[in-house]
């Protein structure tokens, strides 16, 4: 499970990427595959990428709290395996 590192608003998502193909772009022309982009109150952004297909628990416009479950780790888009994300508030 992937948890929001900081509170913020979801400003973009992709959730239907089915492939892992080095260099091939997916939904929204992103090499991140399935992803969530969150804008924080201080104007910074966090992008959670390479998520499992259809695992997103949030959508554009949703407010998220620090520590909230938002998706499941995966390997979509331009990746070579499961990835782990760090972002500090």
Q: How many CB atoms lie within 10 A of CB 61?
A: 9
Kindly report, residue by residue over 64-81, the tens digit of the pLDDT. 999 999 999 887 776 777
- List the beta bridge partners of residue 9: 39, 63
Phi, psi (rounded to 5 degrees) for 13? -150, 160
Kindly report, residue by residue over 9-65, the tens digit of the pLDDT. 999 998 877 665 555 556 555 677 888 999 999 999 998 988 888 899 999 999 999
Alpha carbon 19 to its chain's center: 16
């Amino acid at each position: 499970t992937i948890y929001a590192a900081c509170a913020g608003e979801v400003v973009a998502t992709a959730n239907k990427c089915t492939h892992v193909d080095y260099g091939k772009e997916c939904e929204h022309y992103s090499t991140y595959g399935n992803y969530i982009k969150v804008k924080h109150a201080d104007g910074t952004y966090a992008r959670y990428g390479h998520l499992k297909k259809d695992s997103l628990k949030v959508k554009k416009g949703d407010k998220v709290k620090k520590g909230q479950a938002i998706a499941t780790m995966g390997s979509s888009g331009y990746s070579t395996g499961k990835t782990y994300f760090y972002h500090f508030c």
